[in-house]
Structure 1
Amino acid sequence: MADLPRTARASVALPGATGEVREFELAPPGAGEGWLEVTASGICGTDVGLFARGVSEPTVLGHHVVGRVAALGEGTAQRRGLAAGDRVVLEEYLPCGRCAVCARGPYRLCPETDIWGGGRRIGMIPAAERPGLTGGNGEFVFLPANAVTHRLPAGLTDELAAWVLPYANAIDWVTGAGGLRPDETVVVMGPGYHGLAVAAAARWAGASRVVVTGLPRDRERLAMAEALGALPVVVDDPAATAERIGALTHRPADVVVDTVGTDPSVLGPALDTLGHGGRLVLTHPKRPGAIPLDSGLLIRRGLRVTGVRGRSPEAISAAIASLADGSAGLGAVPTVEVDLEGAADMLSRLAAGTGPESPHVVVRP
């Protein structure tokens, strides 16, 4: 506790899609709790959406958190196997650890951390709730007793460590829901944060061909996908998407991962791209949520459509190892850093579509 400062600053998102830097007191952690000194906090689309819609109460956002253990309460070190100074990645989930879901293992589906059911997560708890610092966009983040952490190897930089969660998502989506087998073809719809992570995961998992699609305005991000070993396809006519992909791969896709967000118009081209036994992985709810799918096509080709949420602990371990040994290749994607004073402006720019070309934006307190 001697090294824990009395206060810490954080960027606070405010109602009305604005933000400001505030100072918070750092209370001694209770039993099972702790504090992390934040070294990197990756910005993802969920943060941008929360900021753009306007939070209902002032909130410290940020749930792709990398930090160093600064203080541990009674029993925390023994329960977590942590010590002061350890570097960790902090998951957003705050599972109860008692319910039937947690007992089976997939704690990311625990009702108490389900945001669709009013659950609680790192980066989404109002700042008025003590100790206030429960998001990554601050100098320190509170470690609740039910938080989930994963230790990081010494050689993994903070910039690459900020990829752990989106890359673990991608590994889970490609190898789990997508059921990717060696020498198969993967098509990634969208070259955003998760799209590039999926391209990297597909190459890591043994795909023989990886294609990433994007709009004409996405040419720089498609170039990043190409640096990851993917084939870029510019989509200016959605009806021609499957034909253009086929001209590159000379075979139907085995797995299509849709990362474009709420637009349902990509689903038709995605299904057209798949060959017999193909798998379509949906990573984001569409609007409207009820969308038509060609059931005849699904049956004729024996297609499978799977929705995904988050990632497994095994995927996180694989992501950490792959990032540490360089096999992820995600160092080819430039890192854009912003300090606490610039965090709200960056979120505003990203929401308006005027942010940097690289999707890997990291708050460095």
Structure 2
Amino acid sequence: MSQKVFAAVQSGEKQTKVKTFDLPKVADDAGLLRVEVSGVCGSDWPDYKKYIGDRILGHEVVGYIEKIGRFAEQRWGLKKGDRVALEEYLPCGHCNRCRSGEFRLCAATDKWNGGIRFGFTTISEAPSLWGGYSQYLYLHPNSVFHKVPEHIPANQAALALPLGNGIEWAVNEGGAGPGKTVLIQGPGQQGLSCVLAAKQAGADCIIISGLSADEERFKLAKKFGADFTIDVQKEDIFKRVKEITGGEMADLIIDVASGGPATVTAAIDLVKIRGTIILAGKKHQEIPEFYSDKLISKYITMKGVRGHSYQAVERAIQLIASGKYPLNEMCTHHFGLNEVDKALKTVGGEGEDGAIHVTVNPWN
């Protein structure tokens, strides 16, 4: 009799059931991961609110190589027992995007246009185990890995991708560094990751804005290196940034806020001439009163970004391993496999309070 695997399967809009699957056979070019922990990404919540078919969510996955084919062992440079962080992308490996290092933009892993990726693909696609809210996860031949040192606690290791996003957006795309004033809109896990990235890159001044409910997140942002926090419900953000910067305004603004589009239009007024605005927080609606002439008159660069490069995740793991920052304080909630619904609703604001980074242990 084949070994059974337990996994939390999305079975409807904001509905989850724990189901059993057969442990898949592993071909020479594939593998199997024993999931240690999986983080709950903020993007899992909008995915959970819509139903496209039964699927196992979860793409911030850390675990151990349980089985590995002989060809995969050579291609991946891994062996059984290695501890790894898994990227969500399943790129083709041969297109221009892949060959130039931008595999996250490969059409083969574009979930919005029929591509497959971890934490999104339905169980109808054999062998079904495509998500991290499962005891085991199938390792596709095109999987992308990062080795994880054993001394890193599992819940902190699951920060590799969100912190990789922060490094990608703040530093690689935004150019945060010495001499720069950085304003981050939104103090969630991605915003806090941007604070860490900007601090590590040597930015002169880091400001983070949010709501009154974000008081505890503001305290953690200060520990991560933020110089100023702004509660936009109590302070005029434009006046406050003008005061902090001596009228110069911010060199770089990173919008990771999950609310409406007001932060986008505000960023245009808050950035300095020849400044840069990074848009990373989806609004899921059109932006009214978007006056594009201001981009021209202020010579503003505005970029949309998503995901992380391979090198950004490598740097994130190095930063986590250093123990330089109190990342344990970012890891606020931990749930078992039977509590995946609660974990997702906690991230979405419908569960437990005070969430920043939430993890699921499929063996609890």
Q: What's the TM-score once normalised by structure 2's chain length?
A: 0.93
Matches within 5 A, 1:1-365: 6-53=3-50, 55-230=51-226, 231-236=228-233, 240-250=236-246, 251-261=248-258, 263-289=260-286, 292-365=289-362
For 2:317 and 2:254, the matched residues in 1 are separated by: 22
- Give 3-state SS (helix, strand or coil) of 1:276's partner: strand
For 2:303 and 2:289, the matched residues in 1 are separated by: 15
Runs of 5+ unmatched residues, structure 1 = none
Q: Which deviates further from its counterpart, 20-29 or 86-95? A: 20-29
CA shift at 1:38, angstroms? 0.7
- Give 3-state SS (helix, strand or coil) of 1:45's partner: coil
> Do the aligned residues in 2 keep the contact of 1:336 with 1:356 (CA within 8 Å)?
no
CA shift at 1:262, angstroms? 5.5
- Give 3-state SS (helix, strand or coil) of 1:75's partner: helix
Percent identity of the aligned residues? 34
For 1:308 and 1:235, the matched residues in 2 are separated by: 24
- Give 3-state SS (helix, strand or coil) of 2:43's partner: helix
Cα distance change, pair 304–316 in 1 and its aligned pair in 2 (3 A):
same
CA shift at 1:249, angstroms? 4.3
CA shift at 1:292, angstroms? 4.8
> Do the aligned residues in 1 keep the contact of 2:261 with 2:287 (CA within 8 Å)?
no
Runs of 5+ unmatched residues, structure 2 = none
> Do the aligned residues in 1 keep the contact of 2:279 with 2:303 (CA within 8 Å)?
yes
CA shift at 1:364, angstroms? 1.1
CA shift at 1:177, angstroms? 1.6
- Give 3-state SS (helix, strand or coil) of 2:13's partner: coil
Letter of the 1:100 partner, please give it: N
> Do the aligned residues in 2 keep the contact of 1:323 with 1:329 (CA within 8 Å)?
no
- Give 3-state SS (helix, strand or coil) of 1:70's partner: strand
For 2:356 and 2:260, the matched residues in 1 are separated by: 19
Cα distance change, pair 349–329 in 1 and its aligned pair in 2 (3 A):
closer
CA shift at 1:158, angstroms? 1.2
After TM superposition, what 4+ stretches of structure 1 lie above 6 angstroms from structure 2? none
Letter of the 1:363 partner, please give it: V
For 2:90 and 2:325, the matched residues in 1 are separated by: 28
Q: Report the number of matched residues.
A: 359
Cα distance change, pair 198–353 in 1 and its aligned pair in 2 (3 A):
farther
Letter of the 2:306 partner, please give it: R
For 1:346 and 1:203, the matched residues in 2 are separated by: 30
> Do the aligned residues in 2 keep the contact of 1:40 with 1:159 (CA within 8 Å)?
yes
> Do the aligned residues in 1 keep the contact of 2:40 with 2:347 (CA within 8 Å)?
no
For 1:111 and 1:147, the matched residues in 2 are separated by: 15
Letter of the 1:340 partner, please give it: L
> Do the aligned residues in 1 keep the contact of 2:9 with 2:17 (CA within 8 Å)?
yes
- Give 3-state SS (helix, strand or coil) of 1:232's partner: strand
> Do the aligned residues in 2 keep the contact of 1:242 with 1:270 (CA within 8 Å)?
no
For 1:199 and 1:249, the matched residues in 2 are separated by: 17
CA shift at 1:287, angstroms? 3.7
Deviations 1:113-157 (A, max 9, x none): 112222111011112332221100111111011111111122222
Letter of the 1:128 partner, please give it: S
> Do the aligned residues in 2 keep the contact of 1:186 with 1:211 (CA within 8 Å)?
yes
Q: What's the TM-score once normalised by structure 1's chain length?
A: 0.93
> Do the aligned residues in 1 keep the contact of 2:60 with 2:88 (CA within 8 Å)?
yes
